[in-house]
Amino acid sequence: MLAEIISIGNELLNGSTVNTNAAFIAQRLHECGMETGWMQTVGDKPDAIKKAIGLAIKRADNIIMTGGLGPTHDDVTKTTLARYFYVDLEFNETVYKRIKDRFDKRGIPMPEENRVQAMIPCTADLMLNTVGSAPGLIFRSKKKLIFVMPGVPHEMREMLNKSVIPILMQECVDCQISVHIFRTTGIAESVIYQKIKKDLQQFSEYEVAFLPKVTGVDLRIIRRGTENKNSEKFEKFKNILYNAIGNYIYTSENLPLEAVLGKLLENNKLKIGVAESLTGGLVQDRLTNIPGSSTYFMGGIVSYSNEAKVKLLSVKRDTLAKNGAVSEEVAKEMAMGVRSVFHSDIGVSTTGIAGPTGATPQKPVGLVYIGLSYGSQTIAQKYQFADNREVNKMRSAQAALELVRKSILGLDI
Amino acid sequence: MLAEIISIGNELLNGSTVNTNAAFIAQRLHECGMETGWMQTVGDKPDAIKKAIGLAIKRADNIIMTGGLGPTHDDVTKTTLARYFYVDLEFNETVYKRIKDRFDKRGIPMPEENRVQAMIPCTADLMLNTVGSAPGLIFRSKKKLIFVMPGVPHEMREMLNKSVIPILMQECVDCQISVHIFRTTGIAESVIYQKIKKDLQQFSEYEVAFLPKVTGVDLRIIRRGTENKNSEKFEKFKNILYNAIGNYIYTSENLPLEAVLGKLLENNKLKIGVAESLTGGLVQDRLTNIPGSSTYFMGGIVSYSNEAKVKLLSVKRDTLAKNGAVSEEVAKEMAMGVRSVFHSDIGVSTTGIAGPTGATPQKPVGLVYIGLSYGSQTIAQKYQFADNREVNKMRSAQAALELVRKSILGLDI
């Protein structure tokens, strides 16, 4: 089953937006055993859109389109498709009500412009948009399916996972596939490869991909067809993997680290408080992305000034004067301080030089200390990152969450 | 002058790599007044590559291709192009020496595989690769130029800027363009459109695009050719725009809101403290993404529990009991509290129901109060968002930063 992805939008053609949608769709299809044969990107122009569909219908089995479903004059995807398939647009009461409800909920009168989003090509099936106003559309042409989704990434992702993929999976007979994600942090891609390279040879039927991100490397293993059922062999693979790099794998369930840590805190009935300097709130932002995090996350302090470190976290003036704010000692006192303020079981802290300014010969940009106070112990771990400000913050926040995870599990740090 | 970009690589079609190259090329062309009409992505397959070139040569003036110039068996771009244009490959001594030199410098013997990179289609011009081994190629077909570059992003970027753009600029006579971005928040795309729709008609020579994001809508205006020089007309356009929606435009310089606010705080010598509940640290994370933010951002408190609100921010137990944590009154007391803790000129606070849990019939998911204490005033603003947890947090953080900006400028809230 070969798919074609058509991305629509002038913002893509002038380069102001990177086409992450196409990669996301292709990756999800790939994980489900379906391949993408071609991608096209065209502007918000009826003629270009028509030609793109014409070409795709000739060569692909299914077509996935995104973009141009908004309420303004430059959104022409829907009307173009209606013309292409010779169908009329009809006013859809249900869709209209859903859009109006969205505005009502926010207490805003619905602008007349949004009314056009309720005009639906009469032969098209609808896909629910749970996070935006424009519904998705499905056209059929000689057994081929043409999916049309909004271009707003979070709307598209939701719709792809909830509607497009399940529908395609029903149609695809030999899409027997299983995908396993092992997420690591604190270990380089090349080091992982070095450690498992030799063993990988006995699993040549597995498709193993290394997906590096700023916060760590994901390993994606795809098993297809009959091999998919050989669970004994996969158990062997997992054993080898965990023996080699198990310490660095924080999940095999494709969850973010804050979700893994959240479960761990909840299951162990542990409460946590956070003191942040260079990460500026990012550690807490991530912890609170998890629903129900208020049961284990008590709160925290962003002590961006020395004064705040002293006053709110009881860091000693003397410690600051002797070692500077970016030091093992201050990281430790911050962790102890925040633990005491929030009466929590765990206190974790970050301090470092985010850059681009603030470095000294002894303390370069990217130097970071993470403090941890838990049980009878308070430690601080040193890291040297070497990136720009935002990336240094992201790596530090990840390192802080990981340090807490390892400590709770009693793993080597 | 209309260009077409063809990206080649299986890693693009299976979604493991996001196609940042195409966006980078398109953006650079656009900045130089050249438009991209189409983008295609195909795999490392001779047949697919040939069809893609065939299509592009029919419709585009120039073609820019990337990918598939490496030394391994799956790099087929060069041989495919040679066949397409009926030219032979010839061994090029100079190219060979350059590749060998690169390996010599690193003290590595050159693998035999790299020798194929010195085989060059005999009619093609070469583009120097200063940061990698594969040279770029230029083919000509009936006055059309076909540029072929490596897919490795930093090699491609260097070659694009040093070779492709200068050559294209020589050929393009009327490449004069200016791009303006006006970033808004707190106003829906359709409402902006409603307010300026009528006036837009007199500026039909401008290309106006609405680019909606979770945190607001960007307006991008492109002016071309001679119109570009008519600054009086553009001043008129700006006047109309600011009269209609000026309150919602936080920058015309394509900056994030936290950078705009940072400058404003710095220029007015104002210091700020932040108290966050539902946003969980995101407001502070954004503020601290700006280098030098420590001059105006004092720090903040994430008071995720009632206890923390009382203890650290001096919110009254009575206020909490009477109104609940998500209320105008608590937002105000949080803002006053954090202002006093950090002795700052401004205190801003967030409290709300991020969801998916925690809602009551009176307080639905997405209900948010932002508190602000500044000068002699303390106010709280109510918002009703209706999204998922992370999006509600993002919208709330944006609303908090915007409320501060408006207050400092004395704009209507």
Q: Do A25 and B15 touch (CB under 8 A)?
A: yes
> Is residue B261 domain-shared with residue B378, that is, in the same domain?
yes
Query: What residue numbers bound the domain in which A48 lies?
Result: 2-171
Determine the pLDDT at residue B305.
93
pTM of the model: 0.81
Determine the pLDDT at residue B132.
84
Q: Which residues pair with B273 in a beta bridge?
A: B299, B347
Which ranges of chain A have pLDDT less than 50?
none
DSSP B366: T
Contact residues on chain B for A48, CB-CB shorter than 8 A: 37-38
Contact residues on chain B for A389, CB-CB shorter than 8 A: 289, 291
Residue A236 Cα distances to A231, A241, A304, angstroms = 9, 9, 48
Determine the pLDDT at residue B205.
87
> Is residue A385 domain-shared with residue A309, that is, in the same domain?
yes
Buried b or exposed e, range A144-156, using 16+ CB within 10 angstroms? ebbbbbbbbebbb
Of B18, B289, B299, the CB nearest to A305: B299
Contact residues on chain B for A112, CB-CB shorter than 8 A: 194
> Is residue A56 domain-shared with residue A132, that is, in the same domain?
yes
> Is residue B280 domain-shared with residue B131, that is, in the same domain?
no
> Is residue A185 domain-shared with residue A106, that is, in the same domain?
no
Separation in Å, CA of A86 to nearest CA in chain B: 25
> Is residue B219 domain-shared with residue B291, that is, in the same domain?
no
> Is residue B359 domain-shared with residue B234, that is, in the same domain?
no
Determine the pLDDT at residue A181.
92
CB atoms inside a 10 Å sphere around CB A157? 17
Q: Do B308 and A299 touch (CB under 8 A)?
A: yes
> Is residue A230 domain-shared with residue A88, that is, in the same domain?
no
Separation in Å, CA of B93 to nearest CA in chain A: 34
> Is residue A362 domain-shared with residue A305, that is, in the same domain?
yes
Q: Do B38 and A38 touch (CB under 8 A)?
A: no
Residue pointed to by tokens 């053609």: A13
Contact residues on chain A for B364, CB-CB shorter than 8 A: 105
Of A13, A154, A299, the CB nearest to B304: A299
CATH number at residue B197: 3.30.70.2860
Domain count, chain B: 3
Find which of B221, B222, B302 to mutate to test the A interface (most A CBs within 10 Å of its CB): B302
> Is residue A223 domain-shared with residue A328, that is, in the same domain?
no
Determine the pLDDT at residue B228.
66
Determine the pLDDT at residue B115.
87
Domain boundary among A156, A171, A186: A171
> Is residue B150 domain-shared with residue B19, that is, in the same domain?
yes
CATH number at residue B389: 3.90.950.20
Contact residues on chain B for A55, CB-CB shorter than 8 A: 55
Determine the pLDDT at residue B176.
67
Scanning every residue of chain B, which has its alpha carbon at the shortest distance from the alpha carbon of A4?
A: B13
Of B220, B292, B386, the CB nearest to A357: B292
Determine the pLDDT at residue A207.
84
Determine the pLDDT at residue B230.
75
User: What are the start-end ranges of the H helices in A85-152?
Assistant: 93-105
pLDDT digits (tens, 9 = 90+) for B121-134: 999 999 999 888 88
Q: Do A38 and B42 touch (CB under 8 A)?
A: yes
Scanning every residue of chain A, which has its alpha carbon at the shortest distance from the alpha carbon of B310?
A: A342
Domain boundary among A154, A171, A188: A171
Determine the pLDDT at residue B174.
65
Task: List the structure tokens of A371.
Answer: 């403090």
Determine the pLDDT at residue A228.
66
Separation in Å, CA of A401 to nearest CA in chain B: 15
Of B293, B364, B388, the CB nearest to A131: B388
Separation in Å, CA of A377 to nearest CA in chain B: 24
Q: Per-residue DSSP letters for A57-71? A: HHH-SEEEEE---SS
> Is residue B369 domain-shared with residue B270, that is, in the same domain?
yes
Using CA atoms, how far apart are residues B189 and B278, in angstroms rounded to an integer?
A: 26
Domain boundary among A229, A251, A273: A251
CATH number at residue B86: 3.40.980.10
Which ranges of chain B have pLDDT less than 70?
173-174, 176, 225-229
Find which of B287, B304, B343, B390 to mutate to test the A interface (most A CBs within 10 Å of its CB): B304
Q: What angle do CA A81, A85, A91 make, to 5 degrees?
A: 65
Q: Which residues touch A335 (CB under 8 Å, ≥6 apart)?
A: A275, A347, A348, A349, A371, A372, A373, A378, A380
